[in-house]
A = this chain, B = another copy of it.
Amino acid sequence: MRTEDMILVSVDDHVVEPPDVFDNHLPAKYKDIAPRLEHMPDGTDRWKFLDIEIPNVGLNAVAGRPKDEYGLDPTSFEELRPGTYDVHQRVLDMSANGVLGSLNFPSLPGFAGRLFAAVDDKDAALALTRAYNDWHIEEWCGAAPDRFIPLAIPPIWDAEAVAGEVRRVAAKGCHALTFPENPVPLGYPSLHDEYWNPVWRACSDEGTIVNMHIGSSSKLVMTAPDAPIDVMITLQPMNIVQCAADLIYSPIIRDFPDVTVALSEGGIGWIPYFLERLDHTFTTHSAWTLSDFGGRLPSEVFMERVILCFIEDDFGARQAREIGTSRICIETDYPHSDAIWPDAPERLTQAFAGTDLTDAEIDEMTHLNAMRFFRYDPFSIRPRERCTVAALRAEAEGHDVSVQAKGRRSEREGPMTLSGFNPTA
């Protein structure tokens, strides 16, 4: 597979909401409570919502900045690459990275849309959620339907409302839902609780993929208050293994055979070990735990029901055939610090270079699986030959992707610990 011939669809990127996100889709009576962006005298921007102030306008949106500026989350739009919040610039950033398609997780409302749960008036909270999804589907993704896979946020405080929103957005062509990898730290019933069954029923009916992103429980992996922050950064992706273990024993997999769950940003290199451990637990302990997979092994069931995703995982790429190339998708994570941008094609080429994967297997992982699972059909709009890395980069010729310092970096002298870190995800 030549780098320039690859076709790349990323199932994990992030949008930074522009100031006008709530302007066009929120009923007039709720305009007053919508989050609003304020430009401060010191040059920073902050979102204000109810009594909540959110000074981090871009989550971890550091793409395009030098690595020594990765440590502080952006506090103004001036610090952000326009491609983070301007969809036309985003398309250029994607093209410059050779990326055809992209699924974008939210920033402001949290990965699982939890922000709006803070509103006591749940009609208003639902209106905000719908307005957000309408903006995302119609304005963001709608600006370039050949380039985006829409992703809805849930009104997470109410399972029936989530189910309703899944059905509502499906009618608009959105077949992806972001959902917390573990609702318990957010104060909601666990993945084991049948409370969520209406959601899975709706996803089953509508062919909607459930996307569980690392960190979406809003709980960081915290080994100790004085652990250097590197410990959390190291552990955060692999922590999705807890969600994976919950899933295989949950009603989602047990009772809803047509629902598929994507483990977003979870990596894949740990999967073979995990599958063996699943089966070992079953064969050793099911005689007393009474777990039951209908005569099958949990590893078989698991691999039929999940989408596995990786940004950079060379070891995982070498295990891709054993894991199953039909269940693996790539991610670029733009514009976060772990992003492969603007050199995703080169990094993926390097990952695949260490393998004997066929072009057909690579095509599955780079775009065919994503197209199939998410009902995303760019070739109906844009001929396939215009979708390759080479073709897209040619379209973005001259687009500036150089590293640009914003002159703002941490002034710490020593390592940052978790207790000194203020998570806002």
Is A416 close to B, CB under 8 A?
yes
Scan A402-418; emit 1 where CB is below 8 A from any B CB, else 0: 00000001101011110
- Whether B246 pairs with A241 at a CB distance below 8 angstroms is no
Docked Cα-Cα span, A212 to B289, in Å, equals 27
Q: A190-B225, A223-B242, A242-B223 are in contact. Are A68 and B288 (CB under 8 A)?
A: yes
Q: Is A270 an interface residue (CB 8 A)?
A: yes
Q: Does A161 reach chain B (CB closer than 8 Å)?
A: no
A378 to chain B, nearest CB (A): 30
If A231-B245, A234-B278, A285-B230 touch, does A190 touch B337 (CB 8 Å cutoff)? no
Q: How many residues of A contact B (CB 8 A)?
A: 68
Query: Which residue from chain B places its CB closest to the CB of A413 in the assembled complex?
Result: B290
Residue picked from A249, A314, A337, most chain B C-beta under 10 Å? A249
Partner of A70, one of B192, B267, B287: B287
Q: Does A238 contact B (CB under 8 A)?
A: yes
> Could you list which residues of chain A lie within 8 angstroms of chain B, going by C-beta atoms?
66-71, 182, 184, 190-193, 221, 223-231, 233-235, 237-238, 241-243, 245-246, 248-249, 267, 269-270, 272-274, 276-278, 280-282, 284-291, 312-316, 337-338, 409-410, 412, 414-417
> What would 8 more interface pairs be, CB under 8 Å, given A191-B223, A270-B273, A273-B313?
A68-B288, A70-B287, A182-B223, A190-B225, A230-B281, A267-B273, A269-B273, A276-B314
